Amino acid sequence: MSKAALGMAAAAGLPAWLRAAQGAAQGATNQNGMNTVGADSLRTHAAAHGLLCGAAVVPNLLDVDGFAAGTTSDAYTRLVAEQANIVVAENSMKWAALRPTATTFDFTQADRLIRFAELAGQRVRGHNLCWHESVPAWLQTTATKENAKQLLVNHIQTVAGRYRGRIHSWDVVNEAVNPKDGRGDGLRNSLWMELLGPEYLEIAYTTAAQADPEAKLTYNEYGIELDTPEDTAKRAYVLMLLRRFKARGVPIHAVGIQSHLQASGPQPGAGLVAFIREARAMGLEAYITELDVNTHKLPGGPELQDAAVAEVYKNYLGLVLAEPNVLAALTWGATSAHSWINQSKEPWAKRADGSRQRPLPFDDDLRPTPAFYAFRSAIDTEKPLAAQPIGPPTTPAAKPQDLYKPFAVPGSPTAPAKPQGAS
């Protein structure tokens, strides 16, 4: 089905409250006199083009009861319901949030998000089941080579199993590639790698597939967007990993391109497009999972920041949404008031003039930024599936015997036999 046909199906499936709101909002304007709600929202434009469009949210800030009763006046809650047809928890589904202790789970915030999304007729991305960050202190001190597999499997079975059938896509493993760590396969030296070796990846995906067979199992990564030598190399390692999954029959359905972009400096281009097409040739969907545009190096006031950020949204989304397997685009945060960039004390977040950044389609006062309009136009100009031929692979061929070798899983028929006399 083309994205446009998918879009019509999605629009027909809009919840009644939203269709009513859209009817009422036809030609209406928000408090600033701009047409950004109802039929003019990102959500409605995305639905019309078969695109999933949304943002990372903080479940605790959502007025779920008020929304359920149809009485909420909370601006953040209304904005998220109005603009997104897919949401993801910024932090609430990570290990550190879900696992206060080794033996307990706290699903309060995750449940809250799912309830809200279902009321609002939104899909939910699950982020994430396995990552080198957000590792609870207890895990760091209690995980051993002996119990690590059981800990990982139990976590994934419990979390993905709880929301079985209700998650659009799971970021099963997040950020597993880090060529700087110097391993031949480009994989990151994480807690999971140290305890289980590369097999942890296969364990995670296989367990997730059993726990939630409907979800699109995704591999999510950052630093793969640009044509710089660093990003180009990292992209090649990610492709290698995806090929290894395919070679071993590991269940994988999509790649997540985080897309934390910079307003100044090199921009994404042909390399990323080639990557998305390679993913498509492997039968994988691609999602823009964490889009935001950082202006920490950009001099000038808010107007300049806005113009530069909007330009990046325009060019970037123009580039990626033209690819027929790019089926979702989410920003990391809904407004600059909630952006991790404005919460971080890291040098990559700090502007020389000390001003707050404006990396998202809505600002600190929840007003639309120029990026909102850039995003919406990019959705509207996105091409239907039928128009997109699959090109030949364009990334350099890797050495198959070395780079594409399957994971060594003890006992599997593809595991290399031990040399005679080896202990």
Q: Which residues bind ligand XIL (CB under 6 A)?
A: 90-91, 174, 222, 258, 290, 340
Judge whether 411 and 349 are in contact, CB under 8 Å. no
**CA-angle at 171, arms to 224 and 388, nearest 5°:** 60
**Taking the complex as a whole, how short is the minimal distance between the CB of residue 10 and ligand XIL, in angstroms?**
26
Please identify, using beta-carbon distances, which residue of 121 and 223 lies nearer to ligand XIL.
223
Tokens of 420: 């005679």
Residue 41 or 109 having the CB closest to ligand XIL: 109
| Shortest reach from residue 69's CB to ligand XIL, in Å | 29
The crossing angle, in degrees rounded to 10, of helices 270-281 and 302-321 is 40
DSSP for 279-344 reads HHHTT-EEEEEEEEEE-TT--S-HHHHHHHHHHHHHHHHHHHHTSTTEEEEEESSSSGGG-HHHH-
Q: Measured from the CB of residue 218, what is the shortest distance to ligand XIL in angstroms?
A: 11
| Those residues with Cβ within 8 angstroms of residue 418's Cβ, 6 or more apart along the chain or in another chain | none
Shortest separation between residue 388's beta carbon and ligand XIL, angstroms: 28
**For residue 51, which of 376, 279, 343 has the smallest C-alpha distance?**
376
Choice between 292 and 382, CB closer to ligand XIL: 292
Return the ∠ at Cα 219 (arms to 218 and 223), rounded to 5°: 135
Choice among 82, 175, 225, 285 that is catalytic:
175
Contacts of 318 (CB under 8 A, 6+ apart): 378, 381
Bridge partners of 216? 169
Residues of the chain by 3-state class (helix, strand, coil), percent to 5: 45, 15, 40
The question of whether 323 is a catalytic residue gets the answer no
Which 8-state DSSP code applies to residue 133?
S
Residue 220 three-state SS: strand
Smallest gap from residue 74 Cβ to ligand XIL (A): 21
Pick 85 or 294: Cβ nearer ligand XIL: 294
The yes-or-no answer on residue 290 being catalytic is: yes
Residue among 58 and 282 whose Cβ is closer to ligand XIL:
58
Residue 354, by phi and psi: left (phi above 0), alpha (psi -120 to 50) or beta? left
Cβ atoms < 10 Å from Cβ of 342: 17
Which CB sits closer to ligand XIL, 92 or 207? Answer: 92
Instruction: Give me the least distance between CB of 343 and ligand XIL, in Å please.
Output: 6
Q: Smallest distance, Å, CB 340 to ligand XIL?
A: 3
Given the residues 202, 221, 278, 290, select the one marked as catalytic.
Answer: 290
Dihedral Cα 91, 119, 50, 379, nearest 10 deg: -60
Question: Between 237 and 407, whose beta carbon lies closer to ligand XIL?
Answer: 237
Catalytic residues: 175, 290
